[in-house]
Amino acid sequence: MTKDGIHNIKPSTSLGYFMRGFYSLPKNGSDYTHPNVTELSRSLPITRWDIYHSLEKDSEIRGHGGRQCVLRAICEAAEYPIDKNHGFFEEIFHTIFTPTSTNEKIRDHSDNEYLAAHHEGRKSMGSCKYLFPD
């Protein structure tokens, strides 16, 4: 207690008391969903190629190189192998941009360009910026 009689309560705790007092919180999982709502399932799982296509579209919308930008990222990921001195997020990005780290079947012939960019990055150090300038 402080000298004015108010308890020392942490701000996060007092916010919790406030939220509990003014809003009714769910008591179990059925409060989150309507009983007649069913989940839609996707017939095919999202593949690495789908991720690359999404990144291409996003890159084009933002005014960058689109496919060339993704191909360059793949090439550069192959150009600079990861070692133990790199961080967690760098490992994630390196895994995403390494198409040979999975054995997913290619859905479209143009997806072979991703594999070609990876192989170019492995065999020729420093050439990615010239191969994929945009």
Q: What is the pLDDT of residues 65-95, one digit of tens each?
A: 888 988 998 999 888 877 777 788 888 888 8
Name the band, by pLDDT with cuts 50, 70 and 90, for residue 1: very low
Whether pLDDT at 5 is above 60:
no
Classify each residue of 104-123 as buried b or exposed e, where b means 16 or more C-beta atoms within 10 Å of its C-beta. eeeeeeebebbeebbebbee
Q: What is the pLDDT of residue 47?
A: 84
Mean pLDDT of the 23-41 span = 64
Whether pLDDT at 8 is above 70:
no
Domain boundaries, the chain: 48-131
Identify the CA nearest to 126 among candidates 75, 74, 85.
75
What confidence tens digit (pLDDT) does each residue in 51-69 have? 889 999 988 888 888 889 8
